[in-house]
Structure 1
Amino acid sequence: MEPILQFGLDLTRWLQQTYPQLRGLMELLSQLGTVEFYLLVLPLLYWSVNKRTSIYLLNLFLITATINGFCKQFFRGPRPFWLESTLGTGDDGRYGIPSGHVQMSTIFYTYLAYWSGKGWAYLVAAIAILLMALSRIYLGAHFIHDTILGFLLSALLFIAFLVWQRRYEAGFRKRILGRRLLYALMVPAGLTAVYLIGLLIIGQPNSNVPWADLIPTAEREGIDD
């Protein structure tokens, strides 16, 4: 087994055996990174806090989800409980790397901290992201490198968003409505095209791995997403 995978298994096993009393908390924290949670929170933000913030977040979520799906199919990495079933009871059949929970939470909390403009908000965001990563590792849903890559991908996306906002947003808003809608549709269409082309390029998965019996489900769920 690859050393990085073995290290991840050892880390999750150590966390579970050393701190068994944290399982309930970790499961709760993990639920705060689900799609259902964000589908509940975004409308509340839209109607109660700031409409533009919610729209930006929604677009960032859609781009993040597309990037996450493509990377999962590209790397085709296992989850810890695929290799050692006693480490988790998760029923997620998708590939592991990168962590979607960490990607989503990084975008969510970082953007809210940026929108608030408060120094303490960035500290809260960092703690929330770290706790999300810890919960996924603890529960055997992800290796530590899954969470690190998830964070890095969202950090790069957020930096790209800041560049767009500061250099191009003003010009974008001066365009007529039809042109703005066209540009808005081009982004998901382009990402989808890249995703589909990427699936064709990477070819068939390697079946000579310990989790080979889980590959058909992972491939099917990756395409369905």
Structure 2
Amino acid sequence: MLWIESGLGYSWSLWFNRLGDNIPIFILNLFNFIGNELFYILLFPLIYWCINKSIGKRALIITLLTAYVSSLFKYLLVRPQPFDLYSRGSGKIINRVLVDEEYGFPSSYTMGITSLWLYFSSISKKISVKILSILVILLTGLVRVISGGEFIFTTLLSILFSILILVIFKIFEPKITTLCNQRYSVSQRVLLILFFSIAAIVIVLLINITSIEIPLILVGCFLGTTTGIVLEKEYIHFSVDGSLILRIGRYFFGIIIISVVYYGIEFLYNISALDNNFILFVKYSVLTFIITFPLPKLFIYMNLSRDSLRTYL
């Protein structure tokens, strides 16, 4: 890994970092926002509730899978951030914005952005979407290097790593989904989700990484999301169709609810004597479950959506 963090790897990263002297900080903060937790909390409900339910759930799952894999490697390798190092004779890389990753390689930020936007590109036939996806990936990765949050080779390798994960996902996800829907009942599918969630936690514990907080959060998101998706498909069938006013109302009402849940559990997290990792696991499991199951049911009850199966009756 030294070649990423020294020699040309360090010199090129320092050169890009110094470009930040001429870029307004709000632009750097804007691009760094595209990839943090709050961005995903706002984006995925928008897609799942208001645009395309199928795209929303698959985009969320591939992003969670990519983040989980990258977090395992990150806490196994324990590589430093660029601003933690200093190359004598070259200068020091400056941390220009708040970098929310504890270690340097691989970059969960870049991998998440890459897998998400390449997924959008792979399912769209529009050239504009494909160009936009490539621009988002390249610009956000470049800004990350300029901000001092990543080495240039860390960004490039993270992009390649996430492409590999996306290819594997695209090959096996349809087969696994079809198999589960045809062979297993709802209760069996939920048990399978629980089994794989426990297995993911066991892997984290067995490999003895330096921190289990982020992987536990991601497993919690997977558990809540996939359980909600299975139950919604079986019992609700809510439709994302409707007027623009209905979609806006659906989105803002849902965001208010999940904000209350998010900060309510955050409050309990701050005052509780329970294990912090356990509280975080519960927090994100509950939050993502509410997004994918109870809220769609509530949308139908409030006439903000409708049962898609009844649309054609």
Structure 1 length-normalised TM: 0.80
Secondary structure, aligned partner of 1:168:
helix
Q: What is the count of residue pairs matched by the alignment?
A: 205
8 A contact 2:95–2:147 mirrored in 1: yes
Q: What is residue 202 of structure 2 aligned with on the other side?
A: 193
Moved >6 Å (runs of 4+): none
Q: For the Cα contact (< 8 Å) 1:57–1:111, is it kept in 2?
A: yes
What corresponds to 1:88 in structure 2?
95
* Pair 1:143 & 2:151 matched: yes
In the TM superposition, what whole-angstrom CA distance separates every residue of 1:71-130 from its partner, at most 9, and x where no partner exists? Answer: 111111111111146511445461110111111101211122223232332222122111
Give the alignment partner of residue 126 of structure 1, picking from 124, 127, 134: 134
Contact 1:77 1:95 in 2 (8 A): yes
- Provide the C-alpha distance between the structure 2 equivalents of 1:97 and 1:26, rounded to a whole number of angstroms: 20
Does 1:182 find its partner at 2:171?
Answer: no
Q: How many angstroms apart in 2 are the aligned matches of 1:59 and 1:18?
A: 35
Bigger RCO (CA 8 Å, 6+ sep): 1
The residue aligned with 1:21 is 22
The reply on whether 1:64 has 2:66 as its aligned counterpart is yes
Whole-Å separation in 1 of the counterparts to 2:85 and 2:20: 21
Q: In 1, Cα distance between the equivalents of 2:54 and 2:201?
A: 24
Q: How many angstroms apart in 1 are the aligned matches of 2:186 and 2:100?
A: 40
User: What is the aligned-residue identity percentage?
Assistant: 25
The whole-number CA distance in structure 1 between the counterparts of 2:152 and 2:198 is 32
Aligned to 1:157: 165
Which one has a larger percent helix, Structure 1 or Structure 2? Answer: 1
Taking structure 1 as reference, are residues 87 and 66 closer, same or farther at Cα in structure 2, changes over 3 Å only? Answer: same
TM-score for both structures, normalised by structure 2: 0.59
- Give, in angstroms, the shift of residue 33 of structure 1: 1.2
The offset of 1:43, in angstroms, is 0.7
If you compute each CA radius of gyration, which structure gives the higher value, 1 or 2? 2
| Distance in 2 (alpha carbons) for counterparts of 1:69 and 1:92 | 13
> Match for residue 207 of structure 1?
none
Q: Residue 105 and residue 86 in structure 1: after superposition, are their counterparts in 2 closer, same or farther (change >3 A)? A: closer
Gaps of 5+ in 1: 201-218
Aligned to 1:74: 76
Distance 1:181 1:8 in 2: 46
Structure 2, unaligned runs of 5 or more? 87-91, 215-313
Tell me which residue corresponds to 2:5.
5
